[in-house]
Structure 1
Amino acid sequence: MDIFDVKDIDPMLISERVDPYDDEESIFELKFDGIRCIAYIDNQTTDLRNKRNMMLLPRFPELELLHEGCRHKCILDGELIVLVNGKPDFYEVQRRTILTDPFKMQLAYKKHPANFVTYDILYYKDKQVTNLPLIERKKLLDEVISESDILSKSRYVETDGIAIYNFAEANSLEGVVGKKKSSLYWLGKRSKDWKKIKVLKEEDFICIGYMFNKNSMTTLILAKYDDKDDLIITNHVSLGVSISKLKQHGMKISDCPIDSLTGYAEATWIEPMVCTIEYMPSEKEGFRQPVFKEVRDDKSPRECRIKEDDT
């Protein structure tokens, strides 16, 4: 079976998230905030698909000539990104994926054209190369790719994972991926040879209640005090939430602590508890992919206040 002809590849995935680290046996690359894609390239055509094998060129027609930047027939693994003010903007990519009107699509890609950043090669000329070590695949990638406005190669550093993480953090980028130089590419598998190092922040909020979602997940209602000493709902979090953890810290059912509140008819209110939330900073939302981390018994709810840069 030729994987180029079948065109149904599940990319290799990362098995764990870790803290920044250095490793002489690894390379480190910036983690781009976009859509993971597989590109099937021959001399005359480009076929670009996401992890669910959906064809993306109808939504990103500016990438239909990726093959002009490739010297040989190949399959590339990489990230489809859209730069806004010089940084990958996930929300712009997401918005583009749901556009169907040709005129609006044209306006979108003329204003913020997409780019495919490739960091791996799975097929070279007429054969699969997933059984080669990563560092050898990187050499093939250098041989194949001729960079352009729509096609680029992911740069990497050896050994110094902490330094590149500090760069990502300082520039508000998503994070870093560390990869063993010797790692093979296992289609559709999660590998401990690749590790994700995400730029995350922690912040304390007041948990004032919870709700059950349609998918049976529990969502905590988060709040802070404003400068008038009023309690204001600021965010919600579902990932990592466990009512049993709250009960272990003395959770008690209470009345709604906010007057004239609408939209929370199904909520169960509790006495305010301080909890720490881990999240990805976002220039647009400020709070992305939040995860409940812990309850803080050592901090008073009155200490959780909205700062000027939170508004």
Structure 2
Amino acid sequence: MKPIKPFEPILTEVIPKGDQWIAQVKWDGTRILTYYDGDRTQLFNRKKNEKTQQYPELLKPSSFIQAKNCILDGEVIALQDGKPSFYEVMRRDRLRNLERLSELQEKVPITYMIFDILFLDGNWLVDKPLQERQQILSEKISGNEVVQLVESFSDTQGLFEVCQQHQLEGIVCKDLESSYTINGKDARWRKRKKEQDLIAIVGGVTIKNNIVHSLHLGLFDKVGKLFYIGSAGSGKLSANDWVTITKVMEPIIIQDCPFFNQCDVKGGVWLRPALTVKISFLEWTEGKTLRHPVIESFVTVPIEECKLE
């Protein structure tokens, strides 16, 4: 079986409602498709990179699905303090030294959250509506300690509020009539993420084609040193905004890196702390950097107020 690129949801701020929509928890893990030909099992991520060796717990589909062969779609997650942790699952996903695998299996147990089935017993199911594919999953999958079937909820707004209360990543809303478009992405599947935000100091930039391309961000620690918290290049700024930033920064360019903990950013042009920007993000990582930072807008908040709590 050749790996495929899975169907992707689009980002949305409006949660769809109505009888045709269901919502599922958006698990904070790594997307993994399972390919089982009746004998051999292979695992691939959304970019078609093989991950078979990283997750040996999933290599016997006969223990959790009644099928001669199949292709399953789901999310591999790992828990930390009872909640899915992207950092933890990446310890497994990025493992290169397989001699450490058995050790990590004990330290970082994983769960495979299955939410779709694309192929079963020699037949493609991608043209069938989601509602029918879900029914097939419920009949064929038997959950165990490692494999679970993702639950669906008709109260889309209610599920999102529960996810916010429990600090989960968000939800994915799906049209029950939707087919599964391989290598597709459209509004029949929509993801609504929780977000956090803060005001950060711009301590440097990366320039591409003579225009600022991304911002290097920091906050002051307790003793007044600028602590690097990540870089952001995506967001709501227009092309004209980037041109303006390029001009505004010229008087505050400095020679030395203003961050005390990170100065090896490739292509960095350093700035005297003066500019502040509002950033939304998913969560803090273990290393005190922002996960998926997005630039909302520049603001006029004094830099003294931008502190690492």
Same structural fold, with TM-score higher than 0.5 when normalized by the shorter chain: yes
Shift of 1:7: 2.5
Shift of 1:30: 0.6
**1:176 equivalent in alignment to 2:176:** no
User: Which residue among 288, 301, 309 is the counterpart of 2:303?
Assistant: 301
**1:24 equivalent in alignment to 2:19:** yes
Counterparts of 2:258 and 2:125, CA distance in 1? 63
**1:232 equivalent in alignment to 2:226:** yes
**1:164 equivalent in alignment to 2:159:** yes
Give the 3 Å change call, closer, same or farther, for CA 60–217 of structure 1 in structure 2: farther
Counterparts of 1:153 and 1:120, CA distance in 2? 9
**1:37 equivalent in alignment to 2:32:** yes
Shift of 1:248: 4.4
Aligned pairs for 1:1-311 (under 5 A) are: 6-72=1-67, 73-158=69-154, 160-212=155-207, 218-226=213-221, 230=224, 232-240=226-234, 244-245=240-241, 248=244, 251-252=248-249, 253-254=251-252, 256=254, 263=263, 266-269=268-271, 272-282=274-284, 284=286, 285=288, 287-297=290-300, 299-306=301-308, 310=309
Residues 200 and 280, structure 1, Cα contact 8 Å, conserved in 2: yes
For 2:252, give the aligned amino acid: S
For 2:294, give the aligned amino acid: V
Shift of 1:10: 1.7
Residues 223 and 232, structure 1, Cα contact 8 Å, conserved in 2: yes
Counterparts of 1:42 and 1:145, CA distance in 2? 16
Shift of 1:254: 1.8
For 1:70, give the aligned amino acid: I
Counterparts of 1:50 and 1:255, CA distance in 2? 41
Give the 3 Å change call, closer, same or farther, for CA 231–23 of structure 1 in structure 2: farther
Percent identity of the aligned residues? 23
Aligned length: 298
Cα deviations by residue, 1:248-290 (Å, 9 ceiling, x for unpaired): 4882522549898673794242561221001011362362110
Counterparts of 1:155 and 1:64, CA distance in 2? 23
Cα deviations by residue, 1:81-105 (Å, 9 ceiling, x for unpaired): 2223332222222222332434310
What corresponds to 1:3 in structure 2? none
Cα deviations by residue, 1:172-223 (Å, 9 ceiling, x for unpaired): 2111101111111111111210001111111112224323379x97332333
Moved more, 117-126 or 177-186: 117-126
Residues 217 and 238, structure 1, Cα contact 8 Å, conserved in 2: no
For 1:101, give the aligned amino acid: N
Shift of 1:51: 2.1
Q: TM-score, normalised by structure 1?
A: 0.84
Counterparts of 1:270 and 1:150, CA distance in 2? 50
Cα deviations by residue, 1:36-61 (Å, 9 ceiling, x for unpaired): 12112354443222223333221211
Shift of 1:239: 2.2
Counterparts of 1:113 and 1:261, CA distance in 2? 36
Give the 3 Å change call, closer, same or farther, for CA 268–102 of structure 1 in structure 2: closer
Give the 3 Å change call, closer, same or farther, for CA 32–256 of structure 1 in structure 2: same
Instruction: Tell me the C-alpha RMSD between the 2 structures.
Output: 2.9
Q: TM-score, normalised by structure 2?
A: 0.84
Structure 1 unaligned spans of 5+ = 1-5
